[in-house]
């Protein structure tokens, strides 16, 4: 028998496995199941981006169109990144501060491999995206979870991080606008994060997956807007949620040159880069952001209003999120704070799937997440069922 690596045993159970099994069982019983569980945009990638891909892959005048992206980089992409960061955030970037990635999930693990030694510590804000910890596991490092509490506006409480953790930690992962809490950060919080990085010699890795998914005129900042940020920080930007491009696997990491270089080094030795047609398409997307973003956001904003208004009518006391494609709400009182019991009952009784907070760690127990990446009529039907269920 072939034995497997111990690191696979150290991975936490995948968030949705339990739920998937329950979904399958409910379907088997004949329940008509509607899911609002996954955050993956339903609308297709905008035409201008798709057309750029098709033209580039068919361009017989480009002799390198089929070749390794790392050896045949498209200058348009980093150029578009620079223009986007300058125009959108007022942040100037040099070529050395940019690396093109296969989206953020992949790059998060590669960054961990590039900066962590066995036994090192990484700090991950919790609740949070599971991949920060997974990167640590793959790099044989360990994770300290910094709780994001409602009473702190879901910000990391830097003073509450123990001294020995500060001493051993090499990276702190944060994510605003935040998945799953939908919390947003202001520049003042980012300033405190950068100061924490400077004081403790810890890389601040900001996962900026949702900066373009914003509502009601809210504009989300980049952590690189803080003075001196590039000395201790990098930012992960992804085209996935901003341009409905989850399946394309395209993003970039920007900021600290040394760390960007580490990611480049890991990539050079593992992945050989993104297809040229993808790089052209990404450049197109970034250059059209000011046209594309408002259209996509008006779709999510309408859905957000539908969901929050309906939940409020059923007695939920929740705010409308300023950003992300999610609604984050407390489980009804009768479930005594158990998000798993609530999710199971909702599925069994009315066939609706939501994401239980517990899946994002102990600090988000008592909450659940609804994803707005489903067609309006699906959301409407699911919400009606939730209303009937809870009233």
CB of 63 to ligand PLP, least distance (A): 30
Choose between 26 and 224: whose C-beta lies nearer to ligand PLP: 224
Q: Residues 97, 211, 240, 373: which binds ligand PLP (CB under 6 A)?
A: 240
- Which among 365, 310, 318, 359 is positioned nearest to 37, based on CA atoms? 359
The residue with tokens 């998914």 is 213
The DSSP 8-state label assigned to residue 214 in this structure reads B
> Does residue 129 touch ligand PLP according to CB under 6 A?
yes
Helix (H) or strand (E) holding 238: strand 233-238
- Which among 296, 317, 315, 295 is positioned nearest to 372, based on CA atoms? 296
Choose between 103 and 351: whose C-beta lies nearer to ligand PLP: 103
Strands (DSSP E) found in 119-231: 121-126, 142-147, 169-174, 203-207
- Which among 130, 131, 128, 167 is positioned nearest to 146, based on CA atoms? 128
Here the tokens at position 151 are: 């009473």
CB of 147 to ligand PLP, least distance (A): 17
> Does residue 282 touch ligand PLP according to CB under 6 A?
no
Applying CB under 6 A, the site for ligand PLP has a residue count of 14
> Three-state DSSP class for 202?
coil
Q: Name 30's Cβ contacts closer than 8 Å, sequence gap at least 6.
A: none
> Does residue 246 touch ligand PLP according to CB under 6 A?
yes
CB of 46 to ligand PLP, least distance (A): 17
Contact 280, 128 (CB under 8 A): no
Alpha helices for the chain (secondary structure H)? 6-10, 17-28, 47-58, 76-89, 103-115, 131-138, 163-168, 187-200, 229-232, 239-242, 257-270, 276-287, 289-313, 339-350, 376-390
CB of 25 to ligand PLP, least distance (A): 27
> Does residue 235 touch ligand PLP according to CB under 6 A?
no
CB of 151 to ligand PLP, least distance (A): 22
CB of 234 to ligand PLP, least distance (A): 14
Contact 198, 228 (CB under 8 A): yes
CB of 71 to ligand PLP, least distance (A): 23
Choose between 158 and 243: whose C-beta lies nearer to ligand PLP: 243
> Does residue 175 touch ligand PLP according to CB under 6 A?
yes
Residues 376 and 24: their CA atoms lie apart, in Å, by: 24
- One character per residue 31-50, x = contact with ligand PLP (rule: CB under 6 A): --------x-----------
Residues 66-105 that bind ligand PLP (CB under 6 A): 103-105
Q: Residues 97, 179, 339, 371: which binds ligand PLP (CB under 6 A)?
A: 179
> Does residue 276 touch ligand PLP according to CB under 6 A?
no
> Three-state DSSP class for 224?
helix
CB of 236 to ligand PLP, least distance (A): 7
> Does residue 251 touch ligand PLP according to CB under 6 A?
yes
Contact 126, 154 (CB under 8 A): no
Binding residues for ligand PLP, per CB under 6 A? Answer: 39, 103-105, 129, 175, 179, 207, 209, 238, 240-241, 246, 251
């Amino acid at each position: 028998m072939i034995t497997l690596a111990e690191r696979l045993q150290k991975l936490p159970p995948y968030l949705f496995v339990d739920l998937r099994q329950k979904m399958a069982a409910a379907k088997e019983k004949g329940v008509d199941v509607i899911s609002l569980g996954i955050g993956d945009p339903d609308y297709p990638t905008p035409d201008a981006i798709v057309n750029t891909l098709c033209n580039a892959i068919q361009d017989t005048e480009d002799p390198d169109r089929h070749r390794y992206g790392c050896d045949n980089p498209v200058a348009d992409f980093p150029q578009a990144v620079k223009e986007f960061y300058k125009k959108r955030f007022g942040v100037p970037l040099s070529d050395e501060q940019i690396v093109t990635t296969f989206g953020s999930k992949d790059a998060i693990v590669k960054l961990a491999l590039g900066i962590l030694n066995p036994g090192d510590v990484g700090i991950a804000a919790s609740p949070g995206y599971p991949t920060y910890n997974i990167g640590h596991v793959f790099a044989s490092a360990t994770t300290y979870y910094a709780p994001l509490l409602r009473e702190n506006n879901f910000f990391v409480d830097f003073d509450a991080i123990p001294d020995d953790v500060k001493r051993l930690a090499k990276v702190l992962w944060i994510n605003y606008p935040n998945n799953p809490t939908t919390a947003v950060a202001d520049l003042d919080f980012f300033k405190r994060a950068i100061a924490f990085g400077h004081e403790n010699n810890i890389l601040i890795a900001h996962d900026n997956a949702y900066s373009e998914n914003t509502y009601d005129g809210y504009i989300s900042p980049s952590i690189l807007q803080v003075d001196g940020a590039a000395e201790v920080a990098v930012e992960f930007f992804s085209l996935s949620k901003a341009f409905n491009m989850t399946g394309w696997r395209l993003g970039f990491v920007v900021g600290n040159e040394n760390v960007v270089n580490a990611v480049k080094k890991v990539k050079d030795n593992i992945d050989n880069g993104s297809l040229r047609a993808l790089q052209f398409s990404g450049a197109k997307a970034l250059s059209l952001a000011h046209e594309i973003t408002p259209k996509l956001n008006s779709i999510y904003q309408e859905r957000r209003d539908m969901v929050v208004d309906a939940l409020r009518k059923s007695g939920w006391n929740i705010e409308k999120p300023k950003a992300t494609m999610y609604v984050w709400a407390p489980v009804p009182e009768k479930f005594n704070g158990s998000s798993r019991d609530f999710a199971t009952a909702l599925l069994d009784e009315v066939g609706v799937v939501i994401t239980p907070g517990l899946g994002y760690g102990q600090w988000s127990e008592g909450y659940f997440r609804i994803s707005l990446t489903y067609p309006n009529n699906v959301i409407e039907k699911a919400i009606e069922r939730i209303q009937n269920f809870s009233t």
